[in-house]
Amino acid sequence: MKREASYFRSVLEQYLSGHHPEMGDCDSFLCSRSEEALGVYAEALKNGASYPEAEELANEVLYKGLHFSAYDMIEEVLWNEFSEEIPQGVAERLAAILLGNKAIAKAIAAYRPDDDFDSKPEYDLLYTELTGIIQLVMEKNELPAFGAARH
């Protein structure tokens, strides 16, 4: 099936909104990445690739550097470690808020996560570190999850 740049942009926008909400307003990134994906797609078709093969190659370009998601990891920590205290719908909103926390951002940056990060031993170390940071943030801000706000 023939694709246009708008198709790749739409696919990327949808992916970013679900996994990298902090990047959703990055119009220049969306434009350049979708144009690059379209170029790879067109070149692959020109070189004899099938439509599915061309789309697979375009997707490699589209999602490059985006496989690891700090938002997803924070959400995973909230769901797994704080599921009794925080409902899933709240966890999704809280993950977006925590993504902007300086301590969390600093911890994530220290590991320099890449597309294969979830298969590395450092993933578990960061997961543990984030669990502790999130607990401290919640306690410091007296969020009900730890009973501090319930008097």
> 36-60 pLDDT, tens per residue?
999 999 999 999 999 999 999 999 9
CA 24/CA 82 separation, integer angstroms: 27
CATH number of the domain encompassing residue 40:
1.10.8.330
Using only C-alpha atoms, the chain has a radius of gyration, in whole angstroms, of 19
Same-domain pairing of 43 and 98: no
Per-residue pLDDT tens digits for 76-122: 999 999 988 888 888 889 999 999 999 999 999 999 999 999 999 99
In a domain? residue 151: no
CATH code of residue 99: 1.10.8.340
Decide: helix, strand or coil at residue 53: helix
Which H or E element spans position 59? helix 51-62
Confidence of residue 24 (pLDDT cuts 50, 70, 90): confident
Q: Side chain identity at 103, as an amino acid letter?
A: A
Distance CA 87, CA 85 (A): 7
**Does 117 lie in the same domain as 80?**
yes
Are 113 and 138 in the same domain?
yes
Residues of the chain with pLDDT > 70, as a percent, come to 93
Q: Domain range for residue 107? A: 70-146
